[in-house]
Amino acid sequence: MAERATWTTQEFGTSHAGAVGVLLADGTVPGAVFFDAGSGAGGERVTEWSVYDGRDGYGPRAAALRAVCSCGWAGVKHPLAWEEIGEEELAIAGAGVADTCMQDWDTHAAEVDTSAVALPQSVTGLLDQLENEIEKLTKTSPLAAVRAARQLEVSAVQVGYWAARDARKEATPAQAAAALGLSEDAARNLLARFGRWSPYLH
């Protein structure tokens, strides 16, 4: 797999891993750039946006950047002003455009969160309260906070068991994935972990 920086959220993880994508002047997505380590030691394939500056030894010149996500979503394209960039390093000159791409992905991640199954305020309020209480406990007794976190972990395993088994009966893999804001594979693995069955069973 080619290397590039990605962004994730704690809840959705790699199901929605965002990155800065590159578009060439003809609208196509370039392949990875291979950097030879020399001396027969192999090399590295890179798709980080900043390597596409058209210089010798680097990738073709990027015409625009856009946010992309592992779920297949792609944001609007933001053109790079090469007449202003000139000889400046793309990693520096294009940083503002890259930041805009990250903001686009933040909006996408927020939309994923909104489209996932809604939780009652009574539940979200209790979860927020528990988190705050454990954070306060950490300041006075870190070990007690660890025990509290462990109790939460045990409770999650207990209450998640029947919830996962019922969800498996009531929802298709696609419906479960949409409701949880995850890919089908990630949703299947999550339900299997809580429901204590093999994720390879259908």
Output the pLDDT for position 106.
98
CA 105 to chain centre: 9
Residue 61 bridge partners (DSSP): 53
Query: Can you say whether the dihedral through the CA atoms of 178, 180, 183, 187 is positive or negative?
Result: negative
* 100 and 21 within one domain: yes
pLDDT above 70 for 41? no
* 133 and 44 within one domain: no
Q: Which of 115, 134, 158 is the endpoint of a domain?
A: 115
> Long-range pairs for 155-159 at CB < 8 Å and ≥24 separation?
156/194, 157/194
Radius of gyration of the chain (CA): 22
User: Residues 89, 49: contact at Cβ < 8 Å?
Assistant: no
Q: Helix, strand, coil proportions of the chain in percent (round to 5)?
A: 50, 15, 35
Question: Residue 29 is part of which domain span?
Answer: 13-115
Q: Tell me the pLDDT of the chain averaged across its residues.
A: 93
* 18 and 110 within one domain: yes
Structure tokens belonging to residue 200? 């390879």
User: Residues 134, 126: contact at Cβ < 8 Å?
Assistant: no
The two most distant CA atoms of the chain are separated, in Å, by 62
- The 10 Å Cβ neighbour count of residue 47 is 21
pLDDT above 60 for 151? yes
Output the pLDDT for position 200.
81
Question: What is the value of pTM for the model shown?
Answer: 0.87
> pLDDT (tens digit, 9 = 90+) per residue, 91-124?
999 999 999 999 999 999 999 999 999 999 999 9
* 60 and 31 within one domain: yes
- Across 46-56, average pLDDT: 91
* 23 and 111 within one domain: yes
Angle at 17 between CA 12 and CA 18, to 5 degrees: 130
Residue 45 lies in a domain: yes
CA pair distance 198, 20, nearest whole angstrom: 35
Percent of the chain with pLDDT over 70: 95
| Weakest mean pLDDT among 12-26, 32-46, 57-71, 144-158 | 32-46
| Weakest mean pLDDT among 20-24, 37-41, 139-143 | 37-41
Number of domains in the chain: 2
